[in-house]
Amino acid sequence: MIKVGIIGATGYAGCELVRILSAHPEAEIAAISSVSFEGKKLSDVYPSYIYLNDMVCENSDEVVKKSDVVFAALPHGLSQELAAKCKAEGVKFIDLGADFRLENEDEYEEWYGGNFLDKALHEEAVYGLPEFFRDKIKGKSVIANPGCYTTCSPLALAPAVVNGLIEMKGIICNCASGVTGAGRKPNQGNHYPELNEGFHAYKVASHRHTPEIEQTLSKLSGEKVTVTFVPHLLPVNRGILATCYADLKDGVTYEQIRAAYEDYYKDEYFVRVLPDGMCADIHNIKYSNFCDISVHYDGRANKLIACAAIDNMVKGAAGQAVQNMNIIFDLDEKTGLEFIPPAF
């Protein structure tokens, strides 16, 4: 059994890791930690775990000592030193935060206000979006687990980008997320009276996920890509819907687009290209590691409209992290992740 440690286990993503890994047939949770709740049982923080997981939150050093792989579900800026400790102890490290996602240090400094503490470790880190980079993930020690918007938007656009069907200029990623994406710590923006019966954009043209989306699309296309990314906050707990717009190249038909998407994802269990006439809906992917994609053609404007829906806490966080763990340890990617989304 793979011994798993979870650092930041009482946050939303950490709590999801516990839920998923508790049923994983090849892994066992060896230790958990939480700065806010050190010394307390997980079931004291989340009563849904009572009698199922009453583990006590330890300090992070103890978690590293007891683990074969450590998941870190922490705010940005807290993972670099932790990754170095894991590396020194021969422990695999999967970071659900942002510290290793950007490859360019100048971009990291611009968007996150920090620096690379260990440049060699950053060079070793692999960006963990399995549908694109699984061959690079296998056997690696440091994985940068992508965030929710940065998973959903590239998945929506990848087949069109890779097959050269769209122009690389003028791409728009218009996304809406459930409030769990803001984390567990309450603030005015996710206070129920402020959030309920509302719908608004936030961090317009300034969200930190912008360069990450651009980095992935640039790798897939082989050229520098700039996108307009606008996130919105939905008055729901879970889910992300990305609606992405791009100009089609001259002569591209809907039949070509459809064929490209079906072929690109034909062997990807967790990506479901929906039949014609259906639209991706967050209702249909809740609590699962699936990404549903619907492809639409606006002939009047000669545009591709690609919609993708994921659960931001699963495929957009904890589920994808477990998918990466499976790849690292040479397990079937689906292991412990074959949840059927609830119908209602």
Single out the catalytic residue among 15, 57, 148, 244. Answer: 148
Q: Is 57 a catalytic residue?
A: no
Q: What is the structure's pLDDT at 133? A: 98
How far is it, in rounded angstroms, from Cα 219 to Cα 106? 18
Closest CA to 75 of 146, 18, 11: 11
Q: Average pLDDT across each block of 10 residues of the chain; the chain has 344 residues. List them in order.
A: 97 96 98 94 96 95 97 92 96 97 96 94 97 96 97 98 97 96 82 90 95 98 96 96 98 97 98 97 98 97 97 98 98 97 93
Closest CA to 269 of 337, 327, 220: 337
How far is it, in rounded angstroms, from Cα 224 to Cα 205? 18
* 70: β partners: 5, 93
Q: What is the structure's pLDDT at 311? A: 98
> Which CA distances in Å does 300 have to 80, 247, 251, 303, 304?
49, 11, 13, 8, 11
How far is it, in rounded angstroms, from Cα 312 to Cα 158? 19
Q: How many CA atoms lie within 13 A of 120 on its CB side?
A: 2
Phi/psi-derived region of residue 76, left when phi > 0, alpha when psi is between -120 and 50, beta in every other case: beta
Question: 2-145+315-328 is classed in which CATH architecture?
Answer: 3-Layer(aba) Sandwich (3.40)
Q: What is the structure's pLDDT at 77? A: 87
Q: In this structure, are residues 286 and 341 in contact, taking their beta carbons and an 8 Å threshold?
A: yes
Q: Where are the domains of the chain?
A: 2-145+315-328, 149-311
323-326: Cβ within 8 A, 24+ apart: 323/130, 323/270, 323/289, 324/94, 324/128, 324/130, 324/137, 324/143, 324/145, 325/2, 325/4, 325/27, 325/69, 325/71, 325/92, 325/94
Closest CA to 274 of 286, 285, 262: 262
Closest CA to 306 of 252, 241, 239, 214: 241
How far is it, in rounded angstroms, from Cα 55 to Cα 45? 11
CA dihedral for 144, 147, 150, 153, sign (positive or negative): positive
Domain 149-311 class in CATH: alpha beta
Query: What is the pTM for the complete model shown?
Result: 0.96
Q: What is the structure's pLDDT at 341? A: 95
